[in-house]
Amino acid sequence: MRWRSRRRVPPGDRARSAMASTRCIRHLALPERAFGPVAGSVVLLLVWAGVAHASGSGWVQTVGAAVAGLLLLGLVAPGFAAPGLTLICQSSPTDAIAGSVVELDVIGNRSMRCTARSVGGTPLLLAGKIPAHLVIVPPRRGVVSAVTVRVATAAPLGLLWWSRDRVLELTRPLYVAPQTRDQGAALRQTLTPDEGQGTPRPTLTGDLRGVRPYQHGDGRRRVHWGASAHTGNLMIRESESRQDDPICLIVDLPRDLDAADRIAEDAMGEIVMQLNAGRRIVLETTESTGRVVAPVADRVSAGRRLARSVASSDAR
């Protein structure tokens, strides 16, 4: 008796084989809600066969065979047409807000139905090669460069829909900013001047009102050298000015996506409030390239920064 040894497949190879099989199945065209059309066609053919058998007429049998052929064509033909469906994005916006509607200008190679799957949206019926607007609704902040779209066809008779997934590449990255909430005060820090660690003093932005003795925290640019030489003490210009030191917002996101979105929404609300008050903002975030500390001039630039923000390496 001969024994044949079976080669053991490493677990890693089995996992890769399973993933490859899943990808192949995902790329195949599959029928949608096939039970109703198939069952209806079978019942119709059985009824027609009973009528043809009872009548015994040759023309009834001929018509029945033609109907059977048409039903088979309507059920199977879309399965061969679905793999050839192609969808191209002609133009896409650059900025959006999480939960808001975004329109993509798309065009297909033939009539089809397309629905965004990786993000929310509404189904779109494309008529031939006529451009149309595909509506998507990004559910959370981030940078979107491609969208998974399910394309489907029921041609030529419309009896059964066959579909497959396609990756729709956007013409430019879509920066999805977080929504705005009014609870970002905990993220706020005021930057201090270079000299000392005292409370920041107003910068020299207005007309000269007078001079006063030096106080801890005053900057060198505020020194009034003439008055200092006259009095023998260090004197500081007192000007008609407002608090103009930039406000630093430090945004450290956790690894949990929902918690990260809530923190980003708080930060966005704080940024909008400070910008509306005419204050300067310095935003400190963690991106895929590392730590970034840079000013933000408006809501759009702040939204892009928060869209690119990721959890830091030591985040939980």
Are 36 and 86 found together in one domain?
yes
Residue 211 sits at φ, ψ, to 5 deg, of: -125, 160
Residue 6 lies in a domain: no
Are 15 and 163 found together in one domain?
yes
pLDDT on residue 237: 78
Residue 4 lies in a domain: no
Query: What is the helix (H) or strand (E) element at residue 172, kind and residue range?
Result: strand 161-177
Q: Which one-letter amino acid corresponds to residue 300?
A: V
Residue 153 lies in a domain: yes
Residue 133 lies in a domain: yes
Are 49 and 171 found together in one domain?
yes
Domain that holds residue 96: 11-177
pLDDT on residue 114: 93
Question: Under a CB-based contact definition with an 8 Å cutoff, are residues 123 and 166 in contact?
Answer: no
The total number of residues written for the chain in this structure: 316
- Is pTM, for the whole model, over 0.95? no
Calpha distance 262→181 (Å, rounded): 9
75: left (phi over 0), alpha (psi -120 to 50) or beta: alpha
CB atoms inside a 10 Å sphere around CB 181 = 16
Are 280 and 142 found together in one domain?
no
DSSP tally for the chain: helices H, then strands E: 6, 16
Are 25 and 119 found together in one domain?
yes
Are 124 and 203 found together in one domain?
no
38: left (phi over 0), alpha (psi -120 to 50) or beta: alpha
Are 58 and 92 found together in one domain?
yes
Q: For residue 212, what are its two tokens?
A: 């006063």
C-alpha distance from residue 138 to each of 87, 102, 120, 135, 254 (Å): 19, 8, 6, 10, 20
Q: For residue 202, what are its two tokens?
A: 């107003």
Are 30 and 163 found together in one domain?
yes
Residue 160 lies in a domain: yes
pLDDT on residue 222: 77
Are 235 and 250 found together in one domain?
no
Are 124 and 95 found together in one domain?
yes
**Overall domain count for the chain:** 3
Are 88 and 109 found together in one domain?
yes
Question: Under a CB-based contact definition with an 8 Å cutoff, are residues 155 and 81 in contact?
Answer: yes
Are 235 and 261 found together in one domain?
no
Beta bridge partners of residue 238, listed in sequence order:
210
Residue 54 lies in a domain: yes
Calpha distance 264→141 (Å, rounded): 9
**Could you report the average pLDDT of every consecutive run of 10 residues in the chain (316 residues)?**
46 47 57 87 84 76 84 89 92 94 93 90 88 93 94 89 93 94 54 41 52 77 80 77 70 91 92 87 91 91 94 76
